[in-house]
Structure 1
Amino acid sequence: MRKRLGWNVMLLVVLCFSFVMAGCGKKDENAGSSSANALDAIKQRGKLVVGVKYDTKLFGLKDPATNKVEGFDIDIAKQIAKHILGDENKIELKEVTSKTRIQLLQSGDIDMIIATMTITDERKKQVDFSDVYFKAGQSLLVKKGSPITGLDSITKGTKVLAVKGSTSAKNIREKAPDATVLEFENYQDAFNALKAGQGDALTTDNAILLGMQKQDPNYTLVGGNFTDEPYGIAVKKGNSDLLQAVNDTLKELKDNGEYDKLYEQWMGTKPE
């Protein structure tokens, strides 16, 4: 009787282990394979899953009327899907924020991040970055007529708004240590806070601020850029084949002139 009970317990353990492994395998089928053959997994799935912003004008902004997400990052993502799968429509866009994007990549919910993500040495420890696909720099957005004209104007008591998890929040604390930095979940919340008078200036990459300026011309950029913030596309560390496919796409777009067209379409000027 004891022998039979022992076998039953062992069988139960084996079955439980099998179910756990099956669940893990299912996760890998959906997105973000952790192995070096992530590119093959995407091809087998027939769909590229990309983490993008939904709240960043010019780069990734969701239109509530149509539920479509549009912007420069979105168009770059579609070109990568076209390069890998032969069809730019074989893509799924998932919303990420500066705070959640690396976590979603690491958990396998997305294959890559194309979301105004600055390349930094600290982030290189967590992800692998593509070649630079957009050159940006941090700046300040203020209401027209504001006494703030740049970093030198920020004094003790000045409230500067930023986004959680962004390099901008870290940079402003270093470059304007007297400022009071208030952090928000996303760019739209931060901009709404600025318009509501909860802060004196908003800081992030100039390209994002230009989008806000277009939304409301009562606000303007001041002081020029005070950092160099190159954007990269992030994949899981070790996904070398996928990273190569991304870099090949970027090179192809720049060589055939399509990159310049997309840049000018969204930014209103040609890349430098």
Structure 2
Amino acid sequence: MKKVFRLVSIIVSSLALLLVLTACGSKSLANQNVMTRAKQTNTITWGVKADTKLFGLMDVKNGQIKGFEVDMAKALTKQILGPKGKADFVQVTSSTRMPLLRNGNIDAIMATTTITPQREKQVDFSRSYFDAGQSLLVKKGSPIKSVKDLNKNGATVIGVVGSNSVQNIAKFAPKAKVLQLSDYAQAVTALKSGQGEALTTDNGILGGMAVENPGYVLTGGAFTKEPYGIAINKHQPQFKRNLNSALTRVEQSGEYNRILKKWFGNVPGMNVKEMER
């Protein structure tokens, strides 16, 4: 009888454990508390661009993504988790970043993501960490001097799928044709091969393209305000508070300005002094 009782006890305990594990497993990654998981793993997983010079670009020599947003993500991680906190990086594009966040593959998006009312219906944002503005990249000597010139003769402007800039062109140059490509590398190639008269996105991104492609310049100034924010899944209030607090500390310590100057200090046409915090 003792053996039978012991066997029954083991079975009951096993079933109870299975129920607990099932209950935990039923909660999707996206709905789990990010801060709880981050503290357990001492890691925050960030979605960053790997094709955007100055913000996030893959270094083919060592396979590491480098840029302003990568350095900022590392600084914020250490502010939130402590000096030994680890920042993991997952490569995203404008079209993949939101699905990866919703699925819980990443904890936060720091990938030149403009804060917009439409996006705020899907995700929560930190406060802005970079105040960009949409502009145009054209070949030197181009007759296009401003966004209004895109309306003339139905010019073709190149953009990236999932970016807010494509929607803005419809507002500012409704007669322009739009060619949407999957990433910025393809967009630059298309511009250089004559598939469009201009490439549009935020000025910070275009600045990186101009540095890499000396025959191309920014034109027309910024015709929109594009504040970048860190996107996270909804119902993560603690994570959002920690991100905003960490951003404040990074700014107040002077680390923000050091990172800013590191990546944008030598970009022609960009006034870093105006961007400092």
TM-score range, shorter chain: 0.7 to 0.9
Shift of 1:84: 2.2
Whole-Å separation in 2 of the counterparts to 1:94 and 1:24: 23
8 Å CA contact 1:79, 1:88 repeated in 2: no
Aligned counterpart, 1:222:
219
- Count of residues in Structure 1 that have an aligned counterpart in Structure 2: 252
The match for 1:142 among 114, 138, 160 is 138
8 Å CA contact 1:53, 1:61 repeated in 2: yes
8 Å CA contact 1:80, 1:88 repeated in 2: no
8 Å CA contact 1:137, 1:205 repeated in 2: yes
Aligned counterpart, 2:263:
266
Whole-Å separation in 2 of the counterparts to 1:124 and 1:166: 15
Aligned counterpart, 1:93:
89
Aligned counterpart, 1:174:
171
Whole-Å separation in 1 of the counterparts to 2:68 and 2:138: 24
Shift of 1:27: 5.9
1:82-140, Cα deviation, whole Å (9 max, x unpaired): 12222466121001111111111110000000000000000001111001100000000
Whole-Å separation in 2 of the counterparts to 1:92 and 1:27: 20
Aligned residue type for 2:67: G
Aligned counterpart, 2:205:
208
Aligned counterpart, 1:107:
103
Aligned counterpart, 1:163:
160
Matches of residues 182-193 of structure 1 in structure 2 within 5 Å?
182-193=179-190
Identity of aligned residues (%): 47
Task: Show structure 1 runs of 4+ deviating over 2 A.
Answer: 17-28
Whole-Å separation in 1 of the counterparts to 2:136 and 2:219: 6
Whole-Å separation in 2 of the counterparts to 1:191 and 1:138: 16
Matches of residues 58-137 of structure 1 in structure 2 within 5 Å?
58-87=54-83, 90-137=86-133
Aligned residue type for 1:119: I
Change in 2 beyond 3 A, CA 1:91/1:26: farther
Matches of residues 220-259 of structure 1 in structure 2 within 5 Å?
220-259=217-256
Aligned counterpart, 1:9:
none
TM-score (norm 1): 0.87
Whole-Å separation in 1 of the counterparts to 2:63 and 2:85: 16
Shift of 1:26: 8.8
TM-score (norm 2): 0.86
Q: Which runs of 5+ in 2 are unaligned?
A: 1-14, 266-271
Whole-Å separation in 2 of the counterparts to 1:90 and 1:130: 20
Aligned counterpart, 2:194:
197
Secondary structure at the counterpart of residue 109 of structure 1: coil
Secondary structure at the counterpart of residue 154 of structure 2: coil
Secondary structure at the counterpart of residue 258 of structure 2: helix
Shift of 1:227: 0.3
Aligned counterpart, 1:10:
none
Shift of 1:182: 0.2
Whole-Å separation in 1 of the counterparts to 2:208 and 2:195: 20
Secondary structure at the counterpart of residue 241 of structure 2: helix
Aligned residue type for 1:82: K
